[in-house]
Structure formats: structure tokens, C-alpha cells
Amino acid sequence: MTTWCEVVVPCTEHIEEFGALLIGRMPETSEGLIEHTDGVGFWVELNTSEEVLARLSAIVGEFDQARYGLGKAEIRGSLDESDWREAWKKYFKVERLTSQVVVVPSWEQYVEVEGDLVIHLDPGQAFGTGAHATTRLLLAALQKLHDDEVSIANFADIGCGSAILSIAAKKMWPESQGMAIDIDPVAITAAVENAKRNQCDIVIGEGIPADVTETYQLVLANIQAPVHLKNIDHFKRMTAANGHLFLSGILGHQVAAVVAAFEKSGGFAVVGTESDMDKDEWVSIHLRANED
């Protein structure tokens, strides 16, 4: 039986910011980054932990130690696979994320009320339970678009994770055609299973923005700011004229640069930005594609 252990980097300042930056450097974090009060952690197989620690220590050394209050990476506890899979479930409960969207873990029961859009979710190791501010911001954006009675014929979800955003979009616009991609095979597996669980017909596959050849009235991208900036031309190509592009995964201090770059591209106008209600650390951006 596989044994898993949690690798933790002590961090006392700007924890979410450091975590977001670390995700871009350590592939293992794509399976879930845990934010503790005193650092960030992720789980790896015990037999790979020494190699992971060595690589992580080198990467952490490149960061501003004082800004983030960083300490030496360490291992905190281990669990057999069956126990590990059960342990995180205690943190994932039924939760209403918008006026309509209610996320229900696959192992929980929920009695629907009129108007609910229930998403039955088992994220597995994939990012996207709806708990993180980046996901909540895009769910709120979808809810507003739906409440404003905007018609959506098709949509794309870039970096779909567990497919929570795709499923929400499909439930809000049942007649729409949906497509979702991610670079992580673990996420793809979880996304396909979640789409089936919710009886949502969504085309899901492994891919990057450059692979997208169709145009969409709605494009969702919950990925990091540097990735947004590298893919501006692809976002221009895939977002239909007058279509909506929602970006998340952006830290507050990155917003101005992202907005300026997308406006400079000549393909988009900024509709607005929204920040996490609790703190302005995470921000989503709503852009509207220009007419041809």
C-alpha cells in the first residue's frame, strides 16, 4: 500500500501569494496545495519525499525569504493511502457558493430547494472544491451573468481542475455546448467523473490554450497571471466577438499588469474586476472581446 506524507514550507507572511507562486514551480502542488496558518503544504508519495524536499529547498531559496517569512521545508506526518484519502474529506462539506450554486460532496446528502443548482462533486486530487477564493470569484461571475439573463450558446473552461466551473456553466445554460481542458491527467480523470456524476455533457480533455481551435461566447480561465499573459493571443482567438472572458488566479498586485496587457492587445475591453470579499489578495477580471 502506498504511503503518503505532507511536505510543508513554513511561511508566516503573504501565505496565499507564496502558495500561488509555488504552484507554478512545483508540479506536485497541482494535486492540491494546503494553506496552513504557518505555511503551505502538499502531499507526495513517501518514497519520493527526499527528492522532492531537495528540489523544493532549492526553489524556496530563490524566493524573498524575508517577504514571505520562509523556513526550511519539512515533512509533517504520513498516512497510508486509504487514511490519506479519507482525511481531507472532513474539510469538504456541503456549501452554498452563490445564490443558486450548492456544492455537495459525493459522500454527503443534501435536500434541494427550489432554484438550487446542485453540483455533486468529488475532486479526488484535483484542484477545485469551490472553497478557494479564485473559484468562488468565477462562480459569482457566472451567477451574475446568468442573473442578467445573458444568453450563452457555448463555453470553454481553461485549466478546469475538478470541472466545477464547467458544470456550473452547463447547469446555468443547459442548452449550451461546453468544453474543458487541463494539463493534469489527475484533473482530467476527476473532471470526467464529475461531469458524469452531474449528468452534464461536456467535452473534457488534456490540453493547453494553444490547442483550442473553436471560438466561444464564454471563456473561463482560473490559472495563474503569468499563464494568462503568455496566452493573450490564444484567448483573443478563442473568445467570440462580444464574448465574455473571465480570468481568475490573479493576485491583487498583478491586476494592473494583466489589465494593461489585455487592453494593449487590442482584442478586449475591461468590464470590471472583483476581489475576494475577505481580503483583496485574489482578483478576477471580466473582459469583453471587441467586435471583429
First to last CA, the chain: 57
Q: What is the pLDDT of residue 285?
A: 97
List the domain boundaries for the chain.
3-88, 133-289
Q: What is residue 278's three-state secondary structure?
A: coil
Beta-carbon contacts of 108 under 8 Å, excluding residues fewer than 6 positions away, are: 93, 94
Query: Phi and psi (nearest 5°) for 283?
Result: -135, 140
If you classify domain 133-289 with CATH, what class do you get? alpha beta
Tell me: pLDDT of 190 over 90. no
Q: What is residue 108's three-state secondary structure?
A: coil
Q: What is the pLDDT of residue 264?
A: 95
As a whole number, mean pLDDT of residues 17-27 equals 79
Q: What is the pLDDT of residue 140?
A: 95
Q: Which residue has the cell 482567438?
A: 237
As a whole number, mean pLDDT of residues 82-91 equals 65
Tell me: pLDDT of 124 over 70. no
Tell me: pLDDT of 20 over 80. no
Assigned CATH topology for domain 3-88: Alpha-Beta Plaits (3.30.70)
If we measure between CA atoms, which residue out of 9, 177, 198 comes closest to residue 120? 198
Do 67 and 12 contact (CB within 8 A), yes or no?
Answer: no
pLDDT band at 24 (very low <50, low <70, confident <90, very high): low
pLDDT digits (tens, 9 = 90+) for 252-265: 889 999 999 999 99
- Distance CA(191)–CA(161), nearest Å, equals 7
Mean pLDDT over the full length of the chain? 88
Tell me: pLDDT of 175 over 80. yes
Tell me: pLDDT of 126 over 50. no
Q: What is residue 140's three-state secondary structure?
A: helix
* CA 74 to each of CA 23, 65, 236: distance values in angstroms, whole numbers, following the listed order: 17, 16, 43
Q: Say which range, 55-59, 167-171, 236-240, has the weakest mean pLDDT.
A: 55-59
More confident residue, 275 or 166: 166
More confident residue, 229 or 77: 229
Q: What is the pLDDT of residue 109?
A: 86
SS (H, E, C) 165-232: HHHHHHHHCCCCEEEEEECCHHHHHHHHHHHHHCCCCEEEEECCHHHCCCCEEEEEEECCHHHHHHCH
